[in-house]
Amino acid sequence: MMKVNNLLLGVLVAATCLSSCGNETKENMNTSEYSTLLPDKVSFEDTIDNKATHLYVIKNSKGLEAAITNYGGRVVGLVVPDKDGNPTDVVIGMDSPSGYAEATEPYLGALIGRVGNRIAKGKFSVDGVEYSVFQNNGPNALHGGKKGFQYVVWDGEQVNDSTLVLHYESADGEEGFPGNLKVKVTYTATEDQGLKIDYEATTDKRTPVNLTNHAFFNLNGEGSGTINDHVLQIYADQYTPVDSTLIPLGEQATVEGSPFDFREATRIGERVDQEDVQLGNGDGYDHNFVLAKDPSGLAARAVGDKSGIVMEVYTDEPGLQFYGGNFMQGKNTLKSGAKDEYRTAFCLETQHFPDSPNQENFPSILLEPGEVYKTSTEYVFSVKN
Q: Which residues 6+ apart lie within 8 Å of 296 measured at CB?
A: 314
Q: Give the pLDDT confidence score for residue 12 in this predicted structure.
A: 38
Other C-beta atoms lying within 10 Å of the C-beta of residue 164: 22
Question: What kind and span of H or E run contains 186?
Answer: strand 181-190
Q: Give the pLDDT confidence score for residue 33 in this predicted structure.
A: 73
Distance CA 68, CA 75 (A): 5
Residue 378: strand pairing partners:
196, 314
**In contact, 118 and 243? CB cutoff 8 Å:** no
Question: What kind and span of H or E run contains 99?
Answer: helix 97-102
Distance CA 304, CA 384 (A): 9
Q: Give the pLDDT confidence score for residue 15 in this predicted structure.
A: 39
Q: How many residues does the chain have?
A: 385
What percentage of the chain reaches a pLDDT higher than 70?
A: 92
Cis link prior to 271 (omega < 30° from 0)? no
Per-residue pLDDT tens digits for 222-236: 999 999 999 999 999
The alpha carbon of residue 16 and the mean position of all alpha carbons in its chain are separated, in whole angstroms, by: 46
Provide φ and ψ at 275, rounded to 5°: -75, 110
* Residues 143/145/150/151 CA torsion (nearest 10 deg): 170
Q: pLDDT below 70 — which residues of the chain?
A: 1-32
User: Where in the sequence numbering do the catalytic residues fall?
Assistant: 214, 349
